[in-house]
Structure 1
Amino acid sequence: MTDLRSTFGTDAARYRRARPAYPAELFTHLTGPRILEIAPGTGQATLPLTALGHVTAVELSPALAALARVHAPAADVVVADFDHWPLPSDAFDLVVCATAFHWLDPATRMSRCAAALRTGGVLAVISTHHVAGGTSRFFVDVQECYERWDPSTPPNLRLSPAAAIPREFDESDLFGRPAFHRFEWEQAYDTEAYADLLLTYSNHIALPTRDRLIADIRSLIDTRHDGRVVKRYMTQLAVATRR
């Protein structure tokens, strides 16, 4: 079975080019000065975090880590699996995981984050959701492509409004009640940029019929949506204090 975590590093340049940044306002809810970032990818959140303090970033993929070092040169980027990385003896003030917390071992991720933090330190979990909006007709039409080339696609799948996305955060006695902040925003893509974005998602990378799926989606954008679509995102920040 393919380890889907490993797919992100297969084309690090594409990941850097295609993955969007995070809303700037999100970082106004975070403070340093000693910061641990888990799974930074190519540094989409790392650079703004370095404005808050010193960042140690732990990234599984050597290829992604190499680009994170280029784009956030003030950070110390370590190549390691956070689930097994030896935690430093000096505790952090802030632990951040952006759009990757679901890849960590659910049995240990909260306890390891707590162990990395000082008492009163903060865990910040950022998640990114594709929600209803943008070029709505395209996201209805494109389901035909997925149903044609990906047998795991539920029939007639539709995007949920942002308000319907649950506020998720692991329950843990090690942390106080989380606070949630939400940011909705849109980004426009031409045909090639949207194909680029899809090829940074693990389920698309690993799909045996991905080339036919992507070709079908390219054709749909070009022929029925004038070569341009708008995607609506909802970025959620959950923050909780280490007891």
Structure 2
Amino acid sequence: MTALRETFNEDAELYDRARPRYPPALVAELARVAGLGPDSRVLEIGPGTGQLTLPVAELGCHVTAVELGDAMAAVARRRLREHPRAEVRVAEFESWPLPEEPFDLVVCATAFHWIDPGVRMVKAARALRPGGRLALVRTEHVAGGTEEFFARVQECYERWDPATPPGLRPLPASQIPAGTAEAAGSPYFERVTAARFTQDITYSTDQYLDVLLTYSNHRALGEAARRGLLACIRNLVDNEFAGSVTKRYLHELVVATRVAE
């Protein structure tokens, strides 16, 4: 897992350009539930290049973002340069020493699964004041958009990636289980809530291939297999879908309250 999570740092500019931003409604809900304002202290785990960090910083919060990759952190700092209350630290969250002053919010967007499961919940709890919030954002590709494309592209994956399950299809959002179990099962948190947001993004062929190259499983393929897979997908989008496909994302915001000691 460590090697895979480090692949994102290999091309931080591509990651920043290609990865989707979070829906404004999700950011607004996060701000509402966590009561964010100019005096709020926020710790972000794994900010990447700042897809969520920037809108949180725009609320005037004091943000400390802990990012494993130095290249990713450099891009995030550039995006945050107009927000002096936001800082990015290059460190592994699991070993990063927590400051003495606790945070009002610990947030992690589409990265919590990369953090050691034996550490993440307890350390997030230790970082928070009693009554503070833990907010986790999970992102899934779900059924919708150009559905015929996602059915047919399976042939490319089955040819070039032997780990692909046969007949794989995106599930409808309604069939994606809620991501509340870990927080609900933790003795450190209570009052777990979840809110869901979807967005459709239309990509040109090049834009869609760029998105794929930000996924760890695509980057982990051997060079020949990756070239073959991307060429197959390019041919399909260009020749059968007029150079454009739409992908539907599901973003789930899970918020839990730190138990008072």
Return the TM-score normalized by structure 2: 0.91
SS of 1:214 mapped into structure 2: helix
The letter for the 2-side match of 1:65 is: A
What's 2:44 paired with? 37
- Whole-angstrom distance in 2 between the partners of 1:146 and 1:140: 11
What's 1:23 paired with? 23
SS of 2:191 mapped into structure 1: coil
SS of 1:177 mapped into structure 2: strand
Note the 1:202-217 alignment, pairs <5 A.
202-208=216-222, 209-217=225-233
- Equivalent residues of 1:189, 1:229 under 8 A apart: yes
SS of 1:176 mapped into structure 2: strand
Shift of 1:178: 1.0
* 2:131 is equivalent to residue 120 of structure 1: yes
- Whole-angstrom distance in 2 between the partners of 1:36 and 1:2: 22
Query: Post-superposition, which runs of at least 4 consecutive aligned residues in structure 1 deviate over 4 A?
Result: none
Which residue of 249, 256, 261 maps to 1:233?
A: 249
Note the 1:1-80 alignment, pairs <5 A.
3-29=3-29, 30=31, 31-32=35-36, 33-52=40-59, 53-73=61-81, 74=83, 75-80=86-91
SS of 1:180 mapped into structure 2: strand
Which residue of 223, 226, 234 maps to 1:218?
A: 234
Percent sequence identity over aligned pairs: 56
Shift of 1:2: 7.1
The letter for the 1-side match of 2:201 is: Q
Return the TM-score normalized by structure 1: 0.98
Of 26-35 and 176-185, more deviation after overlay is shown by 26-35
- Equivalent residues of 1:38, 1:57 under 8 A apart: yes
Q: Which runs of 5+ in 1 are unaligned?
A: none
What's 1:194 paired with? 208
- Whole-angstrom distance in 1 between the partners of 2:10 and 2:56: 25
Q: Which runs of 5+ in 2 are unaligned?
A: none
SS of 1:207 mapped into structure 2: coil
SS of 1:95 mapped into structure 2: strand
- Equivalent residues of 2:41, 2:104 under 8 A apart: yes
- Whole-angstrom distance in 2 between the partners of 1:72 and 1:128: 23
Cα distance 1:223–1:2, how it changes in 2: closer, same or farther (>3 A)?
A: farther
Shift of 1:51: 2.5
- Whole-angstrom distance in 2 between the partners of 1:206 and 1:25: 33
- Whole-angstrom distance in 2 between the partners of 1:156 and 1:55: 43
- Equivalent residues of 1:2, 1:206 under 8 A apart: no
What's 2:120 paired with? 109
Matched length: 243
The letter for the 1-side match of 2:238 is: D
Alignment RMSD: 1.0
